[in-house]
Structure 1
Amino acid sequence: MFSVTMVWMGFPMIITGAMTGSILVLGMGFSAALKAMIIGNLIMLLYVGLLGQLGARKGMNFALLASIVFGRKGYVFASGLLSTLLLGWYAVQTGITGALVSSTYELNYVVMTLIAGALYIGITFVGVKGLHLIGMISVPLFVILGLWVVGDAAATTSWDAIMAYPGNNGAATMTMGVGLTVVIALFIDAGTVSADFNRWAKDEKSSWVATFSAFPFANLAAMLVGGIMTAALAVPDANPFGTDNMFGYMNAQQMTWLSVLAFLFLYVNLGSVCAHCLYNAATGWSRILRSHMRLFAVILGAIGIVIAATNVWAFFIQWLSLLGILVPPIGAIILVDQYLVRKNSEIDRDWRGEAFIAWGCGSAVAFIVEWYLPHLSTAISAGLVGGGAYYVISSLQAKRVTA
């Protein structure tokens, strides 16, 4: 239980989560952002917890679960997509590492990104034990430094002022639907492949404890660090991807020891999430191509570093929107299939067309919501429609077979 919990807790308790909290507070105001954070994390607890329970119960990774639902050949599309998206997430996080170090210390962006990427590949190469160990280092560091940043920033104002913070320049522009999508999409890809981690859990109880340590605990804590800091300082035109984040705040104190600690913390902290994403990507593609996880960790890690060097992190918000459209239906379909429609089913055929039709329905509706109904949540719409469509299609098919 402790090992799997440390793997999960070290995943979302990261600087990027704090940046996301800042983005939400800037766009929604603090009180509305807080609601979005809490509701979004509770949805993730249920979603990831149920998927993780399947992995723990069956002892299967995500690719095997997807093979039951999408087919022994069809799973390649679901697993391949998620593994590729997770590689992209690895590239985004590695690029953010290089960008923060480069802008803060006036060092070469490409060189800092290469160093970060190489370190993260090394952690992933160790395997799930490496994720456990870096989580044990990253989590305490984040808790200590996060509490200090929040306390120091909050001391400049009052908690009433923080709760009443209206948003960037006094104008809240982000709807609740968009806010929920941002919260959910931040870890929807890794959450969908939770069986890759939770298959190592001793039992289903351990799986749920580990999931709870991430959602809502670690993810909400990270978002609150950024959100409270942003609301307390109330900097006009704040830029969470520049200096207006906890890393920039620590360096702004102009204390050498704190700057050194901030530098080390950045690499360890983002190294945790990058190693997790690369592990998931390597696990997925190594099974698809029938090779070894460690070999693909090196290959995909190198590809990710090249992508990161192109400043891909600058498309962070667009990246979350894409994840909110494509990913939620996959997990929702697996949950409906394994808990409602075909309990205890096994891999029985190469392709299961009904799963792909439902996936298409969910993503199509999410695309419409993204462009024409921005007040709604893209991620929630995608999951509900995908899961609902699969249940209806499966029920109609069962009635036809019975007749």
Structure 2
Amino acid sequence: MIPTASPQEEDYPLNPVPADQRKSIWSMGLVLLGFTFFTASMWAGGSLGQAFDFSTLLMVLAIGNLLLGLYAAILGYIAAKTGMNTALLSRFSFGKTGSKLTDLILLLTQIGWYAWGTATMATLLVELTGMQELMTTPLMMVFGFGFCVTASIGYRGLVWLSRLAVPAMIILIGVSMALTTADAGGLAKLATITPTNDMSIATAITLVFGTFVAGATQSTNWTRFARSGKTAAIITLLAFFIGNGLMMLVGAFGALVYQEADIVGIMTAQGLLTFGILMLFLNLWTTQDNTAYNFSVVGCDLLATGRREAVTIGGAAISTALAVMGMQEWLVPFLVLLGTFIPPIGGVIMASYFTGHKRRYAEAGQRALPAFNLPGLTAYALGSVVAYSSPWIAPIVGVLVAALSFTVLQLARQAIRARRPRPGLRRHLA
């Protein structure tokens, strides 16, 4: 007989987190900061740095990351109150079978980003160190399986890594930004640099919000461990606003001063190549292990198994194979497209919590859930279609339309049910 792990060892992938297993605000903050220190956010910030003057840039970053933080914070509040992650909450919003659709979308996105991160680490390391190109594939395999080690351990593995990596990254970023400001001639000189590209404010906010909204939607995997909804909301808002905002600011500064958005390129220009490689490694590892944890949790729900560690390794193997096959070149546009269809999931979950089940998830969990929740699925479809065709901030439009649609459909269904005569009354009237 194959031994099975206890729910605690597997981090409760299919069950609400019990009250006695909740974690401290400090460990959660470190994990979330490590997750939001995302390399792709720096490249997005570089695009903004070349399109706006300094004051407008700061305004765009503040608005975009505040909206992103608020979105993640509301989901964090719900996760802490229920003890459930996005996959489990989706069952109440879309039905037991309908939630498999959202599981698949989230799983594909996280496995894809893990493949991209694995390929990026191996490719850049070969380029920066001058190793032979034939080393790229072996390095992809090493990083593909190596990055998931802490995720396979579980929450405590993520905390262990974050305690070491997050302070080190903050120090390296602080040193680099100080040098960047000095090389630019000070903040006053930096503010006078003329942008070289054009971009609308709406497009810029979409870029800020959309770059990491997929990760924000699954941040419930950690906020469900919070001891209170208020704690989860505050720490999530701060982590996303500060973490993602700082990464974008670093990329924007680098693009303005060195025409480089990546931290490695910036530090190379500053004569800090070794520290740049260290920063890249820590940056990607803290994001990769969180990404692996994400696809392991949602994979458990999709496959109806509690063996989260096995799902972690399996997902890492698939991602590594994608990286080795060179699919990262077309994978990123596909993942960005998926980012349009992920925010409506969060919108439906929010509306379901506040209006659908009226926060009584414990009571609802005792009843058989339907295979398909039509209001939830319909609202998700409407949110996705409107977001895809919207010229405005697509992810935010998707969230709002999905939430509003679910609320209207749910209220309409409740009104129809209330008007139907009860069986006993129907016999009496007959």
- The partner residue of 1:141 within 149, 163, 168 is 168
For the pair 1:52 / 2:76, whether they are aligned, the reply is yes
Q: Which residues in structure 2 correspond to 1:8-19 (within 5 Å)? A: 8-19=32-43
Equivalence for 2:273: 259
Unaligned runs of 5+ in 1: none
| Letter in structure 2 aligned against 1:251 | T
- The partner residue of 1:366 within 375, 387, 408 is 387
CA distance 1:119–1:351, shift in 2 (3 Å)? same
> Which structure is larger by alpha-carbon Rg, 1 or 2?
2
- For residues 320 and 388 of structure 1, the distance between their equivalents in structure 2, rounded to whole angstroms, comes to 26
- For residues 171 and 261 of structure 1, the distance between their equivalents in structure 2, rounded to whole angstroms, comes to 30
Q: Which residues in structure 2 correspond to 1:133-172 (within 5 Å)? A: 133-157=160-184, 158-167=186-195, 170-172=196-198
Q: Which residues in structure 2 correspond to 1:288-303 (within 5 Å)? A: 288-291=302-305, 292-303=307-318
- The partner residue of 1:6 within 19, 30, 39 is 30
Give per-residue Cα distances to partners, 1:315-335, cap 9 Å, x unaligned. 576246413310111001110
| Contact in 2 for aligned 1:83/1:285 (Cα 8 Å) | yes
Equivalence for 1:389: 405
Cα offset for 1:28?
4.1
- The partner residue of 1:378 within 377, 385, 394 is 394
CA distance 1:181–1:317, shift in 2 (3 Å)? farther
- The partner residue of 2:147 within 117, 120, 126 is 120
- For residues 383 and 113 of structure 1, the distance between their equivalents in structure 2, rounded to whole angstroms, comes to 36
What root-mean-square deviation, in Å, do the aligned CA atoms of Structure 1 and Structure 2 show? 2.0
Q: Which residues in structure 2 correspond to 1:3-402 (within 5 Å)? A: 3-107=27-131, 108=133, 109-157=136-184, 158-167=186-195, 170-172=196-198, 174-233=199-258, 235=259, 240=261, 245-254=262-271, 258-291=272-305, 292-315=307-330, 318-319=333-334, 321-343=336-358, 344-345=360-361, 346-347=364-365, 348-369=369-390, 373=391, 376-402=392-418
Give per-residue Cα distances to partners, 1:28-64, cap 9 Å, x unaligned. 4543332222111111222111111111111112221
| Letter in structure 2 aligned against 1:86 | Q
| Contact in 1 for aligned 2:66/2:237 (Cα 8 Å) | no
CA distance 1:228–1:114, shift in 2 (3 Å)? same
- For residues 318 and 402 of structure 1, the distance between their equivalents in structure 2, rounded to whole angstroms, comes to 47
- For residues 209 and 121 of structure 1, the distance between their equivalents in structure 2, rounded to whole angstroms, comes to 28
Unaligned runs of 5+ in 2: 1-24, 420-430
| Letter in structure 2 aligned against 1:385 | V
Cα offset for 1:278?
1.0
| Contact in 2 for aligned 1:3/1:132 (Cα 8 Å) | yes
- For residues 181 and 313 of structure 1, the distance between their equivalents in structure 2, rounded to whole angstroms, comes to 22
| Contact in 2 for aligned 1:6/1:132 (Cα 8 Å) | yes
| Contact in 2 for aligned 1:283/1:293 (Cα 8 Å) | yes
Secondary structure in 2 matching 1:97: helix
> Percent identity between the aligned chains?
24
| Contact in 2 for aligned 1:328/1:382 (Cα 8 Å) | yes
| Contact in 2 for aligned 1:8/1:213 (Cα 8 Å) | no
| Contact in 1 for aligned 2:46/2:255 (Cα 8 Å) | yes
Secondary structure in 2 matching 1:155: helix
Secondary structure in 1 matching 2:371: coil
- For residues 84 and 268 of structure 2, the distance between their equivalents in structure 1, rounded to whole angstroms, comes to 44
Report the TM-score when normalising by structure 2: 0.84
Moved more, 63-72 or 212-221: 212-221
Report the TM-score when normalising by structure 1: 0.89
CA distance 1:260–1:232, shift in 2 (3 Å)? closer
